[in-house]
Homo-oligomer: A and B are copies of this chain.
Amino acid sequence: MSIDRRSHTPVYRQLANLIREGIYAGQYVAGAPLPSEVTLSQEYGVGRDAVRQALALLRSEGLVSTERGERSRVRVPPERVSVELPPGGRAVARMPADPERVERDMDEGVPVIEVHHPDGTTEVHPGDKTELIRPA
């Protein structure tokens, strides 16, 4: 499997697919750093811009995280804490605005869960560390 220049699918999306499959297949281990952007661009024969777009796409999916000066890492799914949806309660999922995401110290590509109680109060939980439950 490699990059097809004649495909209508953009190079960066093809590359993202390849890396994503590599993550699913265990070729890229959770918690371990990916090759550097320059290395990836050489290995796959694409421009660095395509690599950066691919990584940005994977970040927006919550699959990898990137910090300045370090190579991107495969994200390790954190433990989930169970939160009960109360009787008469409602819950929705949405993406946080950037300032809110930074404020809550959340990674990119992670949604928030809003739990609305019957009394009108609302709780916001990070989507990657939360599991909504309803007791049997």
Contacts and interface: CB of A to CB of B under 8 A. Distances in A.
Interface in A72-123: 80, 82, 85-99, 108-113, 118
Contacts of A13: 98
A130 interface: yes
A110 B92 CA distance: 11
Contact of A136 (B63, B93, B99, B118): B118
Contacts of A16: 98
A89 B127 contact: no
Q: How large is the interface on A (under 10, 10 to 19, 20 to 34, 35 or more residues)?
A: 35 or more
A94 B17 contact: no
Copies, count: 2
Closest 8 CB pairs of A and B: A88-B136, A111-B111, A93-B93, A93-B127, A91-B132, A93-B111, A85-B134, A87-B136
28 contacts: A13-B98, A20-B98, A56-B56, A60-B95, A60-B108, A61-B96, A62-B95, A63-B97, A82-B90, A85-B85, A85-B132, A87-B135, A88-B136, A89-B134, A90-B131, A90-B133, A90-B134, A91-B132, A91-B133, A92-B127, A93-B111, A93-B112, A93-B130, A94-B127, A95-B109, A118-B136, A132-B132, A134-B134
